[in-house]
Structure 1
């Protein structure tokens, strides 16, 4: 028995015993460390392992570049690691790896964490062309997001996205990618808000003001959505606000719930109508439509103009956020 074969057999036994987790050919991580990782970090580890195991690996792309840039993917991460190659290379896909032989410009690749990958702009355009609409807008909004305290710069600008889009022409999905980039906003604070924006537009409701600020009793309150004509506020909350230790900031869940109740009471005193919805409602066009009709808003004509074929829902998104 050769040394390499014997070592491989020993590693397989450790995997069978639940002590190691195989993440790529010849690459393993302690099972205890793996179990402590969340979904994002697990995919990130797989992506880095796949890229680092290949000599002169092509650039990581699509969801695999997105995870390294910290961009959200609503449906969850794919099983494959994505790479992009030149059109003439005709790269092959195989189990665990998907190769997109669509070509790339040298300006659209960079290095991050020691691996080559597509830039934020190229990654966003690639995903805008192929993800479902809510997921694509969540990616675009995150890349454009401006920290309200101006401490962290935006990852990119709409102008830079459009320059990359133009450089990539022609490509499949270019029309819908352009529409969604134009729809993107630097003011959406979360994927839930991005999904809400999409469903608000698709249902034909008036365009809301994002992050409208009210000063009440000397305190500042920023709201997610405000319809000035109807003096109505809409708030979209995910569970993270109440349970994520980072967002809790040392407070208990009960303290956050009490603070949020006091905040809502203050805003209700100032406006004519107030509505709140969670992630499951944000992801569902029908359910959010019902909430906004109850709020007194009129549904008119769809504002996000895309072909019907581009408006197909991804059932994985609604299942993941169904609660």
Structure 2
């Protein structure tokens, strides 16, 4: 279930002193090799090849840290929250945390310490799954846990990805809304339940990126009209879809990110220049059919104030009651 940019799982390269001792009958002094630059020390007794570590994205490094922490404990603790999310392929809007999260039984308790966060809460066996040999909370339980504690944009980003289905078949839905509601109901009562329920209500399978999810939240918080997501247009005989269509104003908004131009997977074999040209032709074709078209980058998507300014300048009215559930 783990989704990474690299073709193999980067956590497979995690090495430990204990493993080397079992395999070769001697401690190969990985710490000295780390001091010399051959290995990166992930945690006590846990090392990773330096050249591969340097090539990992931030989320992948966090996945390695999570697996190292779980392996070091050799217990039945269940990885949860952001630590479960990274192994389940759920996104981080603002990057991963510095802590590894575990759920422990209320009876067992246990203190958190630097780098390790323990949540003494109840958990139903149905909300536990196994990923790469580690016990983690299910997608649905992870979404609810995070929806109860994260900022609105981050929480909706996670929930939207869990529900999202890519038209091209590159991404499959990880959960259904029914799954989310069932996990939410099993957890009741719990702190943040109202917030989590609002996130589930608001979540959509149509959001195509973290940019779009954050924008959706800030559009609602500012009281702008509710947009139609992934509205289709015909451009030069081909069907294309836009991020946000405001039907009463007949205007289109796009939450634009660099990833579509620079990520080789997203480019589908095209050069960045070709992607830019194709996007221009697509935009021109949509512009001919509507009364307004605008784009905004990630930095505006995640800012309630900056997106409000952009959309007011675009001529959108604030006629909808502002969302106040969060």
Cα distance in structure 1, aligned partners of 2:263 and 2:168: 21
User: What's the secondary structure of 1:53's corresponding residue?
Assistant: helix
Cα root mean square deviation, aligned = 1.7
Say whether residues 1:272 and 2:291 are aligned partners. Answer: yes
* Conserved? CA contact 2:140–2:179, under 8 Å: yes
**8 Å contact from structure 2 (residues 42, 68) kept in 1:** yes
- The residue aligned with 1:171 is 190
Q: Distance in 2 between matches of 1:130 and 1:121?
A: 15
Matched residues, number: 303
After TM superposition, the score normalised by the length of structure 2 is 0.89
1:247 aligns with 2:266: yes
Instruction: Give the corresponding residue for 1:142.
Output: 161
Q: Is the 8 A contact 1:212 1:223 kept in 2?
A: yes
Tell which deviates more after alignment, 122-131 or 16-25. Answer: 16-25
TM-score when normalising by structure 1: 0.90
- Hey, what's the Cα distance between the residues in 2 that align with 1:181 and 1:303? 18
| Bigger mean CA deviation after superposition, 87-96 or 269-278 | 87-96
1:108 aligns with 2:117: no
- 2:104 aligned with 1:85: yes
Question: Which residue number in structure 1 is paired with residue 244 of structure 2?
Answer: 225
The CA distance in 2 between the partners of 1:302 and 1:240, in whole Å, is 33
Matches within 5 A, 1:1-323: 10-149=29-168, 152-306=171-325, 310=326
Structure 1 window deviating more from structure 2 (55-64 vs 119-128): it is 55-64
CA shift for structure 1 position 280 = 0.8
2-side partners of 1:264 and 1:279: how far apart? 19
Contact 2:255 2:301 in 1 (8 A): yes
- Closer, same or farther: CA 11–166 of 1 in aligned 2, 3 Å: same
Measure, in 1, the Cα distance between the counterparts of 2:168 and 2:52: 35
Q: Give the whole-Å Cα distance in 2 for the aligned partners of 1:247 and 1:262.
A: 18
Higher relative contact order (CA 8 A, sep 6+): 1
**5+ unaligned residues in a row in structure 1: which ranges?**
311-323
- For the residue of structure 1 that corresponds to 2:312, the secondary structure is helix
Shift of 1:23: 1.3
Q: Distance in 1 between matches of 2:305 and 2:40?
A: 41
2:14 aligned partner: none
Kept in 1, the 8 Å contact 2:144–2:184? The answer is yes
Structure 2: stretches of 5+ with no match in the other structure: 1-20
Question: Are the counterparts in 2 of residues 61 and 118 from structure 1 also a CA contact under 8 Å?
Answer: yes
